[in-house]
Amino acid sequence: MFDPITLRGTTFRNRLWVAPMCQYSVDREDGAPTDWHLVHLGALARGGAGAVISEATAVVPEGRISPQDTGLWNDEQVEAWKPVTAFVRGQGSVPGVQLAHAGRKASTFRPWSDVQGTVPASEGGWPTVAPSAVAFEGYDEPRELTHDEVVGLVEAFRSAARRSVEAGFELIELHAAHGYLLHQFLSPLSNQRTDEFGGSLENRARLLLDVVRAVRAEVGDGYPLLVRFSATDWAEGGWDEDDTATVAAWSREAGADFFDISTGGLVAGVSIPVGLGYQVRFAEHVRRQADVETGAVGLIVSARQADEVISSGQADVVLMAREFLRDPHFPLRAAAELGVELDYVPAQYQRAPFRVS
């Protein structure tokens, strides 16, 4: 877990990375990160993570999950991100951004709001769009994207990728998971189109592959490009791990380097066998079937569990979310538990060694 890993021209100091976590904390609803993002993401970098990937960051305003989400659709947002990426980099971690469009799951209230579902226009919400006019349970029905609008999304991701580089991010992850727009195109449960972006697996994957190619062309050959997949919809007739492996292989040919494997999020009310490491097997399946490098995520909560995922060959990287919220210094504590000496413990914290009690 503490061995370095290199993707293209970037070497990561370890294989324990921070998964994207939405903070719903933009103050002015303008998509620009705030001091909260600087302190939150900076603390995770200071704690020893190999990479810190920011929350789902929208490529267009209507792609935000909530009105309080970050974005990279204008140059003012670029400037706001620069202090964040500079601090993360200064702590020895690789700053990454997850570029996203929420599709039919956009314009929603924050999780801690008194109400849930779609935010009405009177409260700052907006009409949503999707591959097809099929609503997510409890949300407003989206408008089906026109063919020209689908093609235009490729340029939106390309432009956001350019701004990501300008903002100082050194890694881009494309969000094709958790029921958001690129995942909506991939799954036959949400994509009922009859044009070249719907129907067969090749057609449903077309938008994602076009985005991968466009982003790769924009950022150049030396820049790491990840894709996050939900490996299964956990629903009959939906997207599954074999589809994921197939499209991961196609994505690698199109220019992606690495695949962050989660599950679910497309449909509500499904039965998910949640337990420790319950998604690791999907990362292993995609890794072996597609012959690609993968990251595992999902209820990985201890140093030995995380290390076993890597040492056993189930995945190449472990990504954590909630465990980092509980303890931003998890990597430093994990190293102490595993008897690994690190040279990046902050000097300011060395009076309080990360001992195992």
Average pLDDT over residues 107-128: 96
| Helix (H), strand (E) at residue 227 | strand 225-230
Average pLDDT over residues 102-125: 96
pLDDT on residue 356: 66
Query: What whole-number distance in Å separates Cα of residue 69 and Cα of residue 155?
Result: 21
Furthest-apart CA atoms within the chain: distance in Å = 64
CATH code for the domain of 340: 3.20.20.70
pLDDT at 216 over 70: yes
What is the b/e burial string over 1-31, where b = at least 16 CB atoms within 10 angstroms of the residue's CB?
bbeebebeebebbbbbbbbbbbbbbbeeeeb
Average pLDDT over residues 324-341: 96
- Collapse the DSSP code of 73 into the 3-class scheme (helix H, G, I; strand E, B; otherwise coil) and give the result: coil
pLDDT on residue 350: 87
DSSP tag of 45: H
Domain count, the chain: 1
pLDDT on residue 28: 82
- Collapse the DSSP code of 82 into the 3-class scheme (helix H, G, I; strand E, B; otherwise coil) and give the result: helix
Average pLDDT over residues 66-87: 98
pLDDT on residue 29: 82
pLDDT on residue 355: 74
pLDDT on residue 294: 98
pLDDT on residue 305: 98
Query: What whole-number distance in Å separates Cα of residue 24 and Cα of residue 27?
Result: 9
In this prediction, what percent of the chain has a pLDDT beyond 70?
Answer: 99
- Collapse the DSSP code of 4 into the 3-class scheme (helix H, G, I; strand E, B; otherwise coil) and give the result: coil
Q: In this structure, are residues 25 and 34 in contact, taking their beta carbons and an 8 Å threshold? A: yes
- Is 180 one of the catalytic residues? yes
Query: What whole-number distance in Å separates Cα of residue 264 and Cα of residue 271?
Result: 10
Q: Which member of 139, 180, 344, 349 is catalytic?
A: 180
DSSP tag of 123: G
Query: What whole-number distance in Å separates Cα of residue 207 and Cα of residue 307?
Result: 35
Query: What dihedral do alpha carbons 334, 340, 346, 351 form, nearest 10°?
Result: 90
How much is the mean pLDDT over the chain? 97
Confidence of residue 353 (pLDDT cuts 50, 70, 90): confident
pLDDT on residue 357: 60
Average pLDDT over residues 329-340: 96
The answer to whether residue 356 sits within a structural domain is no
Alpha helix segments (H runs only) across 118-263:
147-166, 181-186, 201-204, 206-219, 241-254
The answer to whether residue 102 sits within a structural domain is yes
pLDDT one-digit tens code per residue, 14-49:
999 999 999 999 988 899 999 999 999 999 999 999
pLDDT one-digit tens code per residue, 160-182:
999 999 999 999 999 999 999 99
The residue assigned the tokens 């199109």 is: 254
pTM listed for this prediction: 0.97
The answer to whether residue 195 sits within a structural domain is yes
Alpha helix segments (H runs only) across 134-204:
147-166, 181-186, 201-204
Average pLDDT over residues 194-223: 98
Cβ within 8 Å of residue 301, ≥6 positions away: 276, 323
- Do β-strands 317-320 and 293-296 pair in parallel, antiparallel, or remain unpaired? parallel
Q: For residue 30, which of 4, 59, 69 has the smallest C-alpha distance?
A: 69
- Collapse the DSSP code of 283 into the 3-class scheme (helix H, G, I; strand E, B; otherwise coil) and give the result: helix
Q: Residue 271: which domain range?
A: 5-349
The answer to whether residue 355 sits within a structural domain is no
Confidence of residue 191 (pLDDT cuts 50, 70, 90): very high
